[in-house]
Amino acid sequence: MERRLIGVNGRWPPPEVHVNLSDTLVINAHNSLDVATSIHAYGLYQNGTNFYDGAPGTTECGIAPNMTYTYIIPVTQTGTFWLQSQYGSQFVDGMRTPLISYAPQEHYQYDSDQVLMLEASYHRGAKDIVNQLMSTVKGVREAFVQPYMLINSVGGTDLNRTKISVQSGKTHRLRLINVSAAWMVRFGIEQHTMQIIEIDGIDTEIKETNSVLLSPGQRASVLVTAKNATDHNYIFHADMFTDVGQDGQRTVLPYQGIVEYSPDAPLLSYTKVGSSSTVDWEFTQDIDMVPLEKIPAPGVHKWVPLEVSTSTYDDRRMHSAFNNRTYAAPIVPSLLTALSTGYQAYYPDVYGFKTYPVILDPLEDVEVAIFNNDATTHSFHLHGHSFFIIARGTVDKNQNNRIAAGNFPMRRDTIAIPPRGYTIIRFRADNPGAWLLHSQMQFVKEQGLALTFIEAPYRIGANLKNVPADMLENCLTMGIPISGNALGKPGLDLSEDVRGPYPLSGL
């Protein structure tokens, strides 16, 4: 089956991007599509370069068709990241690629370094899937959307098409990146153990395991030491599973590939060594991980409680929302509103009701409590920061289910919250700008699950210096105002600001 995908420089998949600490990453992005696009460096903080964060409606207008935008990004972090379009659901249609940043001296020693981009892909375009999920007809929107697994953009039912080549006795670093739009991925290798050494760009103390669970957007690096003997090859699993749309019942779509010691060696099926898989699927919890750089959690100056729910709204569509407020992008990107409205930049209303703006003071310590009231897992990504994982529990407040972090909590930028569960995270508002917190399950994000942190609005201008001229040119080319409130009007002239839809009671 053929389908339309978005490529780069005449090829698909787009090339991987590899950089070193202290490099400057320059992406000269020319848009040859017939719609706008953007590029988001997933996981990079962009401190001082908020206008290169690639979030249309928040930090830019997007790159207009036949126009160019040059992203100039100082590399101040190391680890495993990825590049994606954040315009609509374009990354689901192929606009995605790994971004790997290397330290001058790695903390752990290994003999090879391989990237495994885990992609739950579709035979249909993302826009078509979004239209289905946003249908007003219950039977249409609840019809199962069948994905298939790609690894580094290769896959299918023939496991011989996806191989991890290893050398006997050597230690191999595998960088796992889940770039799926809705599906979690579990990874494990038969007859092998793994050592987790990094999650979401944060180096960790070694945690031994034989399985890793990644929600959309999450990354992990594992070390695998190959066996000395080369008389067998082994199966690896990269199974997709989800509870989205299944009333909490987990749907598992198995996927297998080969860990190849020798092209001539036979494949050792796990059924030959036991009645079931040797992978136990007892996943390591991120709250139990310990970062190598031990930083105490900040205190709490501001508390942001967020109730997550999905229901039918008065437009007869299913929406997901924080505190019953569905997100919609403003006309004027929030960053440009902050830079152009003077003292009114501190007023949440100026950014528009449906951006769900949350104003943060400079260096304020922020605690966000996310309560997942749905029967499905949600995955959330915070732009501009890594956050501390403080606690996990269940929404029924049963203290027996509460897990608290240690003295030096794990940090990451994407968090998964199971059904009827909650997670408490903290971060310091030390990066002036406009930053999204949104569902990384892209189709859920399209249903409205996002908000905007406006961080130190009075300091954004000093932190960013000059707004790139080509960013403003792209806005004007698409007829988008480059100043004013969310509607492109002066100050608090927001009489036409739309606030609905609203949840229907009793449904």
pLDDT in tens, 350-364: 999 999 999 999 999
pLDDT for position 250? 64
- Which one-letter DSSP state was computed for residue 411? E
What tokens appear for 254 in the block? 């198995």
E-assigned strands of 326-364? Answer: 357-360
Residue 419: asked if its preceding bond is cis (omega within 30°), the reply is: no
Using CA atoms in the order 324, 329, 332, 333, what is the torsion angle rounded to 10 degrees?
A: 100
Confidence (pTM)? 0.95
pLDDT in tens, 126-183: 999 999 999 999 899 888 888 888 899 887 655 556 899 999 999 999 999 999 998 9
pLDDT in tens, 362-393: 999 999 999 999 988 999 999 999 999 999 99
Report whether pLDDT(275) > 70: no
Strand partners for 365: 428
Q: Give CA–CA dist 135/130, Å, rounded.
A: 9
- Residue range 257-268: mean pLDDT, rounded: 93
DSSP assignment of 126-187, as one string? HHHHHHHHT-SSHHHHTS---EEEEETTEESS-GGGSEEE--TT-EEEEEEEE--SS-EEEE
- Which one-letter DSSP state was computed for residue 254? -
Find, among 325, 303, 320, the residue nearest to 424 by Cα: 303
Q: Amino acid letter at 172?
A: H
pLDDT in tens, 172-200: 999 999 999 989 999 999 999 999 999 99
Q: Give CA–CA dist 211/220, Å, rounded.
A: 11
Instruction: Give yes or no for a contact between 164 and 194, defined as CB atoms under 8 angstroms apart.
Output: no
Confidence class of residue 279 from pLDDT cuts 50, 70 and 90?
confident
Confidence class of residue 432 from pLDDT cuts 50, 70 and 90?
very high
Instruction: Give yes or no for a contact between 45 and 81, defined as CB atoms under 8 angstroms apart.
Output: no
Confidence class of residue 246 from pLDDT cuts 50, 70 and 90?
very low
